[in-house]
Chain A
Amino acid sequence: MRPAYRTHFLVCAGTGCVSCGAFEVRRALEEEIRRRGLEREALVVATGCNGFCERGPIALVQPDGVFYQRLQPADIPLLVEEHLLKGRPVRRLMYVPPGEREPVPRMKDIEFFKHQRLIVLRNRGRIDPDKIDEYIATDGYAAAAKALTEMTPEGIIAEIAASGLRGRGGAGFPTGRKWEAARRAGGDTRYVVCNGDEGDPGAFMDRSVLEADPHAVIEGMIIGARAVGASRGFLYIRNEYPLALARAEKALDQARRYGLLGRDILGTGFDLDLEVVRGAGAFVSGEETALMASIEGRRATPRPRPPYPSERGVWGRPTVINNVETWANVPAIIRRGAAWFSALGTATSKGTKVFSLVGKIANTGLVEVPMGLPLREIVFRIGGGIPNGRAFKAIQIGGPSGGCIPASLLDLPVDYESLKSAGGMMGSGGMIVMDEDTCMVDIALYFLRFAEEESCGKCAPCRAGTGEMARVLAKITAGDGTAEDLARLEELAATVKRGSLCGLGQTAPNPVLTTLRYFRDEYEAHVFAKRCPALVCKALIRFAIDPAKCVGCLLCRKACPVGAIAGEIKKVHVIDEDACIKCGLCLSACPARIGAVRKTSPAAGGAR
């Protein structure tokens, strides 16, 4: 029998913390505890991602609820001695909110965690994802048992439909309707598929869920398979997520061993087996028809819909495809009821949504918030605002398919419809925050290049159109844009949006369309005045040394890699603009108190 531990150290073992050394911290903790003979009093547990990746490696000490962050193995002896032996939490290792001096000791008091509402991520930081027992101990598989023993398939579907759950992969199709369609489709073979091919740059919601709570996804799939009558399913997971793949495989093994998968599950006569399929390494593999082709062993390219997967899916059989987050919502809905779930959120968007908050934001990480929360809350309360005293400029939501929402729309509630009306989309939930040093034309070009590169090449508008749009944008950032180029860009965007075969192409122009809509003045500055207001586009900026401030210290001259700076000690230095490659090293070399080097983007002569 396991001893009743006095204290649990819950060390985060999400990919972010692991990359900062969480495993070393865990090893040090275990060693220290053993050295002091406290093995029967304190237990070290590796949990899934807590979401506060900015502050990794992190550890939560329970039952006190004290939150330690940015731990190093060297901190451990002190931590054990002070916290465990003397009962004095270590203030030095606690979280200090930006701009404040006093640390916040408890996790539940930290702004980042305080405003979140956890359904999908309910087990994050609480259980060891590698142990099915811990999942079961936190009500795991209770929903599956309820669905299999107490509910009819129709009842399950009705419950999901009543909850108002919509697909968390981007388009927001009502999950209940999707299941209903698959259930009604003919034939006796059906499949359930989990779409874990999260490819948006800067998004890691699905990875975190799979790493932190793989059993929640499996349980959701068991319930879904029971509802639609599937006896086989696939977890399609990106090959770039080794930890998620390993945890999913392990979780499947455990579930099989416990009789939760396989033949005659829980003695109900219901059969289901799930298997992991490794992603084919392309963004488009996340498109559901391409994903099905990939499962079948073919090249991952989309096909036109209808027929929808719920009518003709994998190997031509009715198939339910939901993404990781959607599946992870299902057990909670079944266990706690549709009414509980639909009480959260807005009229049309129910429940919560997980977002990955990245970019120019103080608290980078993963957050789960109720639908309908204003963007401002997410960025400034949970995210802690913009670091380094810079101003908020825009937030890019929904990855390369989404749009850039400007500061004027910060009070927009986050739900499917509002985001769509603003020109963006929910997407899978990536949020990239941008400050005033971000050039919106440059950002649009970045996303277009991504879409161009990831186009599968099947349909002409996406294959050739995204490339052509990127070419025009590159021309504008190079300062060669004309008024016709702006019109051309809009025409191309319309062609790609309306002409493309799948969602990837149809949404690829969104970053361009939204930036044109909200930041047109910036495009016009590039085109007409030939200047980049954010001082990003190299062709449009210049570096100069203010003769009044330069003290002739030679630092910038030494830093310049191309010898473009002339000057002698104690004499004013001068940048040769023809030789300058605009690398910006002189700017960083010049001491802040001097501040003689200046980056500018002057308007070209005769600017409008």
Chain B
Amino acid sequence: MRLRIDGREVLCLAGSTVLEAARGAGIAVPSLCDHPGLEPFAGCRICLVEIEGRPDFVPACATPAADGLVVRTRTPEIVALRKRILELILAQHPYACLVCPEKEICSDLKATIRKTGEVTGCVLCPENGRCELQKVAADVGVDKVSVPAVYRNLDVHREDPFFDRDYNLCILCGRCVRVCAEVRGAAVLSFLHRAGRTEVGPAPGLSLLEAGCRFCGACVDVCPTGALVERAVRHQVRAEREAAIVCPFCGQGCVLALGLHQKGILEARPLHAEPNLGQACVKGRFLVRGAVASPGRIVEAHVLKNGRLEAVPIEEALDRAAAGLRRAAADRTALVVPSQVPLEDAYLFHLFGRDVLKAGAMTCEPAGTVEGALLGFAMKHGFALPAARRLDGIESAGAVLAWDIDLIEDHPIAWLKVVKAVRGGAAFITAGAAAESPVVRAAVALGLGSSPPAAAARLAAHLLVAKSGGASEVEGFEAFARAAAARKTASGRIERPFAEAARALASAETAVILFDAAAVAGPDGTETLEWLWNIALLTGARLLPLSRSANESGINALGLALGPPAERLGLAAVWSGLQAGDFEALYLAGPLPDLGRSRPPFLVCQDTHWGRNAERADVVLPAAAFAETGGTWVNTEGRVRTYAPAVRAPGAARPDGTVLAGLAARLGHPDFARPDRAAILGEICRRVAALDGYSPDVSGGSFFLLEPAAPGGRFVPVAAPLPRRGRRPSPKPGEAPGRPPAILRGFDLAAGNRGFARTRRSR
């Protein structure tokens, strides 16, 4: 589209606003309430412009660009109007910092005792220096405010975890309200009251916690003033530099910017990069600093002496560990590998178990994984599920089926795309324990009853009715149709939702089925996956498995490429082996429930944080945490990203690979050590075919480890499951996928962070 702005010919894409067109052409138009990714609000009135032929000034942020528009952004009248409007906005916002004659030298004098500022709002304002209002005031040219200031004297809300809300600094731009509803699908925030008493916040009388806030921090990130600020940084100095990391807390692989200063990590903010595009969740936004700088960190090596763990130099601990491991028989040694480590360390763990320990059992699964289930399916049926793993495309689906998956908590970025899809009119169908929100409600909620495969079969039966004859030419259809038809469709209270869900799925042009380990890694998992696959084939829906643990898919690919090290046992097998006393030694680097009496004769614990098992170990080896090691991470989509260490590891903690090299040398493998971490990555890329050509310089946005398998496949034979009587069998420890662990290796996030514990309790 072609329009004229301030006398210049400007080109822009169809669908953009006048504001976007102007900014795209380098014409600065100040604005406050506008924010990329949010719908236009047109409340601040700072971006008013003149359009030829229109009697009134129009907000550039909410006016669609059109061919032939003649726009003027800087007529004297508009410039004066903007100034006066901003003055009115500032009348309700402490503005001393904007008009202070000493503002130029202020930053040098920040050490002033912060007491006077409570009313004037200058030195105390936590956003001073990066406040958008300051920038806009400078752009608009406000250097005095002729309207008398009104300090609203509202109580600062300090009752919620993680951040304070000081609405005395709020300018009512509504960004927080919109991001909460439009992007996060939560709608916890709203405008309250009206006129001069207008405020934003949760329902009156409720704290955010009580109102159902998940503390994703999106409102804090879009706030242009100091009204919403993370409590931990409220009274801190500014970050001196930033470093990007990949969040290790779930499989989504959000890119975060760590704000750093001498003392370490100050804060973590989501970066505007794939896949998270400026969004995060409570874990990434607020728990990184506490996890890395936790008082529970293991900072020194320890060995058991006279019944007590004593801090010793790392060499002594390594000697002790080597001696103990040498004494145990190799086939009666088990290794539990963490999945929340970068590929480099995971690779060395793998080699260590296979070549050095020659361990009889090795596992890296915190619990059953979706990768394992997919592999099992491929082995059973002879073809890999053509599951495209990328999250892109969910937002344009016409129907979304969330099968027993808590997207909000466990897959927050996938959830954001579901929010987009549902706001765009997609039907949202949930099954089992799938989460929904007040704005993104399930159109149909399917109960799974005592047998999830039976429920899937019931859905398939209704789908056959709704989509009669579809896909009948595909191999295996007859058998599948027979099995599904064995579950007779009927009407009635139980059947109705299934019929509705089937209609929604069948009528959608594109549908996507989301599931994770909770659905497919349990005892019924394979059967459920088979039904889901057949349903996907029947409806043309896309099957989208989501991995729950950081680097799960990367480590899985690594394991496949390197071949099974020894007999690859699941965690459940290791656990029962331990209880049966099958093992003489356990090298524990990943999470495991409290061993208690099943502690084997010799226990080495290599971890970042103290836990029950570490406290009982013979040898404790301190490991560096994610932000300290850097390294290569693969998210659920197969997106690969490498980052450099952001902070130094505390005390004697070293990257896992370094610790393993020291131990391997003592166990007769002096060549185990690699010259540096780049060399390890090079070695991985040579051995894992899918990583061929990856280099850390390639941005994670473009390199995918998991490319979708070719579409196609056939219906797989399924039994016609009858609903079981009674309750679903309760899972054994270590076996059930259950709810995913809110853990970082051995560190329980909920136990380590009071705020996070409160958010979990509130649900």
Bind each other: yes
Task: Please report A residues at the B interface, Cβ cutoff 8 Å.
Answer: 282, 284, 299, 301, 303-304, 306, 452-461, 463-465, 467-468, 471, 488, 491-492, 494-495, 498-501, 506
Q: Are B195 and A459 in contact (CB under 8 A)?
A: no
Closest to B193 in A: A457
Closest to B40 in A: A304
B526 at the interface (CB under 8 A from A): no
Which residues of the other chain, A, contact B194 by a CB distance below 8 angstroms?
Answer: 282, 284, 454-457
**Chain B min CB distance to A294 (Å):** 13
Which residues of the other chain, A, contact B89 by a CB distance below 8 angstroms?
Answer: 460, 464
21 chain-A/chain-B pairs, Cβ below 8 angstroms: A304-B42, A306-B64, A455-B195, A456-B198, A457-B191, A457-B193, A457-B194, A457-B195, A457-B196, A458-B41, A458-B198, A459-B43, A460-B89, A464-B92, A464-B147, A468-B91, A495-B81, A498-B57, A499-B45, A499-B85, A501-B42
Q: Which of B56, B63, B85, B195 contacts A454 (CB 8 A)?
A: B195
Count of A-B contacts judged by CB separation below 8 Å? 98
Which residues of the other chain, B, contact A467 by a CB distance below 8 angstroms?
Answer: 195-196
Q: Which of A299, A301, A452 contacts B195 (CB 8 A)?
A: A452
Q: Which of B58, B59, B191 contacts A301 (CB 8 A)?
A: B191
Q: Are A495 and B84 in contact (CB under 8 A)?
A: yes
Closest to A484 in B: B146
Q: Are A453 and B195 in contact (CB under 8 A)?
A: yes
Complex alpha-carbon distance, A492 and B45, angstroms: 15
Majority secondary structure, B binding face: loop
Complex alpha-carbon distance, A454 and B195, angstroms: 6
**Chain B min CB distance to A459 (Å):** 5
Q: Are B45 and A500 in contact (CB under 8 A)?
A: yes
**Chain A min CB distance to B682 (Å):** 54
Which residues of the other chain, B, contact A299 by a CB distance below 8 angstroms?
Answer: 190-191
Task: Please report B residues at the A interface, Cβ cutoff 8 Å.
Answer: 40-45, 48, 56-59, 62-64, 81, 84-85, 88-89, 91-92, 146-148, 171-172, 174, 190-191, 193-198
Complex alpha-carbon distance, A571 and B64, angstroms: 79
Closest to B54 in A: A306
Q: Are B42 and A459 in contact (CB under 8 A)?
A: yes
Most chain B CB neighbours (cut-off 10 Å) among A460, A492, A499: A460
Q: Are B196 and A464 in contact (CB under 8 A)?
A: yes
Which residues of the other chain, A, contact B171 by a CB distance below 8 angstroms?
Answer: 460
Q: Are B57 and A499 in contact (CB under 8 A)?
A: yes
With A452-B196, A454-B195 as known contacts, state yes or no: A465 contacts B88, CB within 8 Å: yes
Complex alpha-carbon distance, A457 and B92, angstroms: 12
**Chain B min CB distance to A504 (Å):** 11
Q: Are A498 and B43 in contact (CB under 8 A)?
A: no
Closest to A298 in B: B190
Q: Are A499 and B195 in contact (CB under 8 A)?
A: no
Q: A454-B194, A491-B84 are in contact. List 7 more A-B contacts (CB 8 A).
A: A455-B194, A457-B195, A465-B88, A467-B196, A494-B81, A495-B88, A499-B84
Which residues of the other chain, B, contact A500 by a CB distance below 8 angstroms?
Answer: 45
Q: Are A461 and B45 in contact (CB under 8 A)?
A: yes
Which residues of the other chain, A, contact B147 by a CB distance below 8 angstroms?
Answer: 464, 468
Q: Are A463 and B195 in contact (CB under 8 A)?
A: yes
**Chain B min CB distance to A556 (Å):** 41
Closest to A457 in B: B198
Q: Are A303 and B57 in contact (CB under 8 A)?
A: no
**Chain B min CB distance to A121 (Å):** 34
Closest to B181 in A: A298
Which residues of the other chain, B, contact A464 by a CB distance below 8 angstroms?
Answer: 88-89, 91-92, 147, 196
With A459-B42, A463-B198, A464-B91 as known contacts, state yes or no: A499 contacts B191, CB within 8 Å: no
**Chain B min CB distance to A293 (Å):** 12
Complex alpha-carbon distance, A167 and B81, angstroms: 31
Which residues of the other chain, A, contact B45 by a CB distance below 8 angstroms?
Answer: 459-461, 499-501
**Chain B min CB distance to A434 (Å):** 26
Q: Which of A468, A488, A498 contacts B81 (CB 8 A)?
A: A498
Complex alpha-carbon distance, A456 and B192, angstroms: 10
Complex alpha-carbon distance, A461 and B190, angstroms: 20
Q: Are B62 and A304 in contact (CB under 8 A)?
A: yes
Complex alpha-carbon distance, A304 and B58, angstroms: 8
Complex alpha-carbon distance, A248 and B238, angstroms: 62
**Chain B min CB distance to A198 (Å):** 19
**Chain A min CB distance to B110 (Å):** 30
Which residues of the other chain, B, contact A488 by a CB distance below 8 angstroms?
Answer: 146
Complex alpha-carbon distance, A318 and B698, angstroms: 48
Q: Which of A284, A304, A460 contacts B44 (CB 8 A)?
A: A460
**Chain B min CB distance to A448 (Å):** 12
Most chain A CB neighbours (cut-off 10 Å) among B44, B45, B148, B198: B45
Which residues of the other chain, A, contact B84 by a CB distance below 8 angstroms?
Answer: 491-492, 495, 499
**Chain A min CB distance to B92 (Å):** 6
**Chain A min CB distance to B29 (Å):** 15
